Amino acid sequence: MNLLRILFPVCLILFLGSCKEPLPRPVIRIIPQPAEGTDKDGVFVINSATKIGISNENEQLRHIAGFLTSHLERYFGIANLGITAYEFGVKQSVFLKLDPTLNLGKEDYHLSVLPDGVLIEAAAANGLFYGVQTLFQLMPPSPKQVGEIILPAVDIKDAPRFAWRGLMLDVSRHFMPKEYILKFLDEMAMHKFNTFQWHLADDQGWRIEIKKYPRLTEVGSVRTNTLRGHLANGYGIDTVSAAGYYSQNDIREIVEYASDRYITIVPEIGIPGHALSALAAYPELGCNGVPYQVGGRWGMYSDVYCPGKENTFIFLNDVFSEMAGLFPGKYFHIGGADCPVTRWDRCPDCETRMKEDSIVSTQALHNYFVGRVTKMIHSLGKEVVGWDELLKDTSRTGGVIVAWHGEDYTITSVRKKNLTVVSNGKYYNFDQYQGNPSTEPLAVGGLVTLEQIYNFDPIPKSLNNKESRYIMGIQGNIWTPYMKTPVYVDYMTFPRAAALAEVAWTPKANLNYKWFRKRLLVQIKRYEAEKITYSKAEFKTLTN
């Protein structure tokens, strides 16, 4: 495979027989790197005379072709390109072919650029969409209103390594406006991510409208104070209100926007801990029943949902039922992490529950709680996703485990035959520093570099091939206690998400960090064109 040719002089013979000056051959630098790619001779020029074709009249096909025509007009000034259904073979065209009979997976595609046209074919719309995303990356990274684009001739056969290629965004600690969520989804699509875990509620804020429980957003979405400085050395609290939530109309718009980009949203409402924002709105759901306040500092709180009160389960069932009508995806994330049980130890309602149901310990009470919520989720036609703390329940089977504690948890999850998403916090938590803390924005601590992300193999060596099939994919987590703005989130996410995206998509045998670094220098020009703020912490080494 030769993807390193920089210049290839070619003479384009026009219909008048005249010869233009030799055209420079663009550098082929794609992230994530395709599974297979072969350089071909020649170039193809897209201009106002280029035809955009689709293989049949199909709403999804037209929509994907619309991404292409919008991109050409917005960045290169090539406008008024109609989309027409016809048979493949028309010269000087970009043709999108959807053919379910092709021997390709749902997200696979074949892209061929030749001097007389472009063909992108796939068996499913998902693959066709990713083929168009790759075509964008064959275009100049710094677009100008030039009226034409020179594409290098290539043949690409591509398929993802993992089925779950995810990012998690926490909007509880700091709310991110709807407009940014839409932009974030575009950023994900650009990197071929397909799963967005949306952390919608925690101690520090409830961010989704539930019509049956209006106080969740009236009270639970408003934090009256926030810790200043770092949790380890805070210097007081501020008194500036931090608030925000998504209406159900906002949710519908965001879900549709994600679906158009073949991204599944996995909403997360954590149980039984991380519940303080819900308790502030409805204190009767806690063990004490006293007034609570939305959390103003980071970390864990001992006030959690009370499993001894039946109203707790009625409330959660109502919440998840409303959410089921908003999120059509297969999975609901129920958290399951970090639940102190000190309140349960002293709660008469919990004591009664344990006696009546022969529950012998607070860990067993935790298992009981999660088990009841799991049945709720199943009754709504959804599958449960949870953090790896759920592995403490040795009787639990099924669902998806997001393994964030480390490799041992990944191995345990897999050997219990759980579908597993590797989200190792040491490498995949993007709230950690990217460079010298003295020159970087405030972060939770630690250090996660591009090279660490790229070179970490999410599949433990001790797993055999059969066991490895239980690993669905990988996910990066963006926790926002110190990220107050969308610009801050982008800065902490990129370019690290590019390294994660390549590990998630590209076959392991094709991974090469040195080559990735060179391609990243082109990718950051795309970031600049798309107004994506990114960290320059490692860029002084990228040019070495």
Rounded average pLDDT over 469-481 = 98
The set of residues, in sequence order, having a beta carbon less than 8 Å from that of 169 and lying 6+ positions away, is 176, 181, 184, 196, 197, 198, 199, 478, 480, 489
Please tell me the predicted confidence (pLDDT) of residue 182. 98
Q: Domain map of the chain by residue range? A: 36-158, 164-512
Rounded average pLDDT over 358-380 = 96
Please tell me the predicted confidence (pLDDT) of residue 108. 98
What pTM, to 2 d.p., does this model score? 0.93
Q: What DSSP designation does 341 have?
A: -
The set of residues, in sequence order, having a beta carbon less than 8 Å from that of 413 and lying 6+ positions away, is 388, 391, 401, 403, 420, 470
Residue 26 reports pLDDT greater than 60: no
pLDDT band with cut points at 50, 70 and 90 for residue 338: confident
Please tell me the predicted confidence (pLDDT) of residue 230. 87
Residue 1 reports pLDDT greater than 50: no
Residue 541 reports pLDDT greater than 60: no
Residue 16 reports pLDDT greater than 80: no
Q: Which CATH architecture has domain 36-158?
A: 2-Layer Sandwich (3.30)
pLDDT band with cut points at 50, 70 and 90 for residue 160: very high
Q: E strand or H helix at 84, and its extent?
A: strand 83-85
pLDDT band with cut points at 50, 70 and 90 for residue 28: low
The full DSSP string for 203-242 is TTEE-B--TT-THHHHTTT-BS-EE-S-GGG---EE---B
17-31, 36-50, 93-107, 228-242: which has the minimum mean pLDDT?
17-31
pLDDT band with cut points at 50, 70 and 90 for residue 21: very low
Residue 196 reports pLDDT greater than 60: yes
- The two structure tokens encoding residue 468: 């490895």
Q: Write the burial class of residue 381 (CB in 10 Å: 0-12 exposed, 13-18 middle, 19+ buried).
A: exposed
Q: Are 480 and 430 in contact (CB under 8 A)?
A: no
4-13, 379-388, 507-516: which has the minimum mean pLDDT?
4-13
**164-512: in CATH 3.20.20.80:** yes
Rounded average pLDDT over 87-110 = 94
**CB-side exposure of 393: number of CA atoms within 13 Å?**
24
Q: Residue 532: how many CB atoms within 10 A of its CB?
A: 22
pLDDT tens-digit series, residues 419-469? 999 999 999 999 999 998 988 999 999 999 999 999 999 999 999 999 999
Please tell me the predicted confidence (pLDDT) of residue 6. 31
Rounded average pLDDT over 322-341 = 95
Measured CA to CA, the distance from residue 319 to residue 211 in angstroms comes to 9
If you average pLDDT over every residue of the chain, what do you get? 92
pLDDT tens-digit series, residues 258-289? 999 999 999 999 999 999 999 999 999 999 98
